[in-house]
Amino acid sequence: QVIDATSLGWGTRVKGFIACFAIGCLFSLLGSCLLWVPKKGLMLFAAFYTLGNIASIGSTLFLMGPMKQLKRMFEPTRLIATIVMLLCLILTLCSAFWWHKQGLALLFCILQFFALAWYSISFIPFAR
């Protein structure tokens, strides 16, 4: 009964995926626009760009479900890609807010882009 009460229908899952992915793209685009704000621009960029990537990754939770997503993220074939991606997300925020190193935050944003691309490609069969 609990499983039936908490599962979403396919239409709802697709709508959740689209909404979450659109929010992720919007946050990433907003972060890119905020990069040019004087003084705090890089911090805003790092925050919104990272939140956008997290929302985009979170959008797949609607399609697969949280537990299946976590299991697939940490499979041996994509474990390194997952760790690098999560590490880049964390280091971007740390360098922008905790360490206050703007150049390092920008470097980690660039690495975050490539790490997310590597992580996404790891889900395509034979693309690794």
Best CA proximity match to 44, nearest among 116, 105, 117: 105
Buried b (16+ CB within 10 A) or exposed e, 26-41: ebbeebeebeeeeeee
Mean pLDDT of the residues in the chain: 88
In the chain, the amino acid numbered 121 is: I
Q: For the chain, how big is the Rg over CA atoms in Å?
A: 16
Interatomic CA distance for residues 37 and 45, integer angstroms: 9
Segment 8-12 mean pLDDT: 85
Whether residue 1 is predicted with pLDDT greater than 50 in this model: the reply is no
Nearest of 119, 47, 58 to residue 84 by alpha carbon: 119
Residues 6+ away with beta carbon under 8 Å from 50: 31, 89, 92, 93, 109, 112
pLDDT at 28: 93
What's the whole-model pTM score?
0.84
Average pLDDT over residues 55-74: 89
